[in-house]
Structure formats: structure tokens, C-alpha cells
Chain A
């Protein structure tokens, strides 16, 4: 059972465009949603996160939009740069303790110069 789903599996945008990565979940008790960024040959690193009490979280060019009713969230990367090319994982958990985190399968983003 896949509790956290991501789409698309891969995405290509041009430099300067906005990339939109989607994530949905099934468990209504999930209340913490981090996004991790992974470059080839490296481990994932926390990019940005949001809690279910908020509907938006912004950090520079990266913004999470959260829709609790529809159990959906999206990561928007504005003014995409070639250096943003990476795999992005959405994750979710219902309580403290990172061992509770459920990861999605990832979206591979390519930004063309």
C-alpha cells in the first residue's frame, strides 16, 4: 500500500520556468510533510517542510502549497535553475520520530539551460 504518492515521475522544464511537483497522501493523521532533495551520488537533504496547520510555506524560490481537505500538496520551484536538477522526495508522518516518515517514490526534475 503506497501511502504517499508523487507525480510526475519525471519532469523537464526550461531555465526560468516554474516547476510543479505533486504529492498526495492517504492517512488523514499525517501532520508533518518534509520535502527532501537528492543530487546524483549523494544522500537526500531536507529542502523545506510544512505542518498541516499551515496551507503555505515559502523559502526563497521553493514554496509548498498544502490542501488538507484534498490530502494534497505541491512543491513549486520558481525561476528554476539547472542546479535544481535533482530528485525530490515528498514524505509524511503522523507523529514525532523520523522513523515514522513515509517517503514517496520521488520526482526526477531536469532543468534545461
Chain B
């Protein structure tokens, strides 16, 4: 078994502030993801990294940057926080090949509030 650790669990920022969310996984998975979860809107993909030196934009990448520091870690930066923004950011990972790559393993999320 393994675990995905997201830090911080709660993040409060000011409008216009640059904020960084961190994710660590010990599954030894190749692929990592960042999703945004808004109430009533499901999960939307922000960025993903197929392997350690890869970075791909998802459908919701505008306003965000991402960095894959090493195989086990993947960070997300909110480049300019928007006032009244409230969402949960979920990190996930999968192995690279085969049917096991279809199962996403999620962390417990970082809840962002922008004042």
C-alpha cells in the first residue's frame, strides 16, 4: 500500500497572492495529477505529469502552474488567487501502464479559501 500526502490541508490566501500546494506519493507511481473540485461541478483536471520529466496542461490550467520536482512529488501554484475563490484541490497518482493505470489514487485534498 501507499499514501498520498497533500500539504497544507487548509490554505487561506489574499486576492492576488501566489499560493503553492504540495503533493507527495510513496506508491512509486509514474503519473501524477492535480484536480480541482468545486461544489456541484465534479472534478476537473488542472495539470498532469505522465513521467518524472513531463508536464501536461489539463482543461483548467489557466491561472495555474505546476512542477514535478521528482518522481514522488508534484506541486501546484495558483499564480494569482481570485477573491471569493473556494475549492478543494486534489492530487492523484497512477502507475504508467496496463489496466492498473486506470485507477486513480487520491490524496485527501487541500481546501483553498481566498479572502
A42 surroundings in chain B (CB, below 8 A) = 108-109
Whether, in the assembled complex, B53 has its beta carbon less than 8 Å from a beta carbon of chain A, the answer is: no
Q: Is the CB of A99 within 8 A of B58?
A: yes
Q: Is the CB of A41 within 8 A of B102?
A: no
Whether, in the assembled complex, B115 has its beta carbon less than 8 Å from a beta carbon of chain A, the answer is: no
Q: Is the CB of A101 within 8 A of B108?
A: no
In angstroms, how far is the closest chain A Cβ from the Cβ of B49? 10
CB 8 Å contact bits of B43-60 with A (1 = contact, 0 = none)? 111001010000010100
Q: Is the CB of A43 within 8 A of B90?
A: yes
- Which residues, 22 to 80 on B, are CB-close (under 8 Å) to A? 31, 33, 40-45, 48, 50, 56, 58
**Complex: how many Å from CA A99 to CA B31?**
9
- Which residues, 87 to 113 on A, are CB-close (under 8 Å) to B? 89, 93, 96-99, 101, 103-106
Q: Is the CB of A98 within 8 A of B101?
A: yes
A43-B107, A44-B104, A49-B102 given; A99·B92 CB < 8 A:
no
Majority secondary structure, B binding face: strand
Q: Is the CB of A46 within 8 A of B103?
A: yes
Q: Interface size (B, Cβ < 8 Å)?
A: 25
Q: How large is the interface on A (under 10, 10 to 19, 20 to 34, 35 or more residues)?
A: 20 to 34
In angstroms, how far is the closest chain A Cβ from the Cβ of B63? 19
A44-B104, A98-B33 given; A105·B58 CB < 8 A:
no
B21 surroundings in chain A (CB, below 8 A) = none
In angstroms, how far is the closest chain B Cβ from the Cβ of A24? 14
10 extra interchain contacts, Cβ-Cβ under 8 A, other than A98-B33, A99-B31? Answer: A9-B40, A42-B108, A43-B90, A93-B102, A98-B94, A99-B48, A99-B50, A99-B56, A99-B58, A101-B104
Residues of B whose CB lies within 8 Å of any CB of A are 4, 31, 33, 40-45, 48, 50, 56, 58, 90, 92, 94, 101-109
